[in-house]
Every structure is written in structure tokens, then in C-alpha cells.
Amino acid sequence: MLTAHKQDHPLAKDFTDKIDGILTAHDNDPTQIVNILLDVQDLTELHYVPEPAAYYIAQKIGVKITTIYDCLTFYSSLSEHPRAKYPIQICNSIVCRVNDSDSVFSHLKELLGIDIGEVTYDGRFTLESVPCFGACDQAPAIRINGKVYGHLDSHQKVLQLLDTFI
Ligand code: FES
């Protein structure tokens, strides 16, 4: 159960300092909660918001911990669990689908040997199916760590893209 001041795993001081910097940059404004969580998530190698950080942020900006976890579970760009170093988000919305995002998904599955929600053996890649992230003019598109890669209309293009991460 989520309690208001859970601190089972205290945060390292340098991590806390960085979170404080992010909170200051957003004026400790609770309406900026999603952007704050995105920035904090970017501090971690595995692109997630660790539990102690979630409690710390809740306390600092004066929101309930459940509000933090509502955001972490609602927004596909956010995660409460460690992800791969390169989470690959495949758009599953209409424009990408009519531009054959299913083939992009098949190429990625074949090249990486994983399915949606799985992580490669080396912890580098995971596949996530997400709604439109506003790159419809580049469909079919994927997003990796916030950066969009579009027009992936061939096996070769997907392979070349993956090569840039190895
Ligand atoms: S429909 Fe895929 S990015 Fe918008």
C-alpha cells in the first residue's frame, strides 16, 4: 500500500540534488507534474522513476503519492519500472497503422528476438506499443528516448536504425 512518506530506500544525495534542480526549474509547480517526472526519468539510465524519487517529488510539490503513480501508469512515456536502455515505442495509432506499422513491428521483433513488453538479453532494447506521439507526418514512426524516427518503410531502414544504437 502507498503511504504518504515512505522512504524505504533513501535517495543518494547527488540524485536528490538533481531532482531539486528539476523541481526548481519547474517552480515546484504541481501542474508541471508530467514534465517533472519526464525530466527525473531522464536522470536514470533505465528510464524510470524509482519509488523513493516518486515519494520525494510528491512530498516536495505537495501532491498525493497516488497522483504521481496515476501519471506514471497513465502516460506511456513514463514508467515506474526499470526499462531497457533504449525503450523502442512503436506507434499503434491510425496513421501509422495505415502506413504499415505492423511491418515495422515485425522487423523489430525479428531483428531483436523479443515481443512487446520484453527486454533483450543485454538489457539494451525493449518494445512498447504506444498511442500517437504526434509524428503522423513521418508515419510509420517509432520513438526512442523521446526522439522520433520516421518513414521506417523497409526492413533495411529498421536495420540501419538499430545499427546506430549498437
Ligand atoms: S499516428 Fe503514429 S505518430 Fe501519429
Closest ligand 1 atom to the C-alpha of 140?
2
CB 83 within 8 A of CB 47: yes
Crossing angle of helices 51-61 and 65-74, rounded to 10°: 120
pLDDT at 7: 52
* Average pLDDT value for residue range 146-159: 94
Q: Is the Cα dihedral 35, 41, 47, 50 positive or negative?
A: negative
Ligand 1 pocket, 145 CB below 6 A? no
pTM of the model as a whole? 0.73
Q: How far is CA 144 from the centre of its chain?
A: 8
Residue 5: pLDDT over 70: no
Ligand 1 pocket, 34 CB below 6 A? no
How much distance in Å is there from the Cα of 56 to the middle of ligand 1?
34
Report the helix count and the strand count for the chain, using DSSP H and E: 7, 4
Closest ligand 1 atom to the C-alpha of 139?
2
Give the H/E segment covering residue 41: helix 33-43
The Cα–Cα gap between 138 and 135 comes to: 6
Encode pLDDT of 41-67 as tens digits.
999 988 899 999 999 999 999 999 999
Residue 6: pLDDT over 60: no
Encode pLDDT of 23-35 as tens digits.
999 999 999 999 9
Burial class (CB in 10 A: 0-12, 13-18, 19+), 28: middle
Among 71, 92, 72, which Cα is nearest to 141's?
Answer: 92
Across all residues in the chain, what is the average pLDDT?
A: 91
Ligand 1 pocket, 152 CB below 6 A? no
Which pLDDT band holds residue 76 (cuts at 50, 70, 90)? confident
Encode pLDDT of 80-129 as tens digits.
988 899 999 999 999 999 999 999 999 999 999 999 988 898 889 999 99
Please give the grid coordinates belonging to residue 38. 519526464
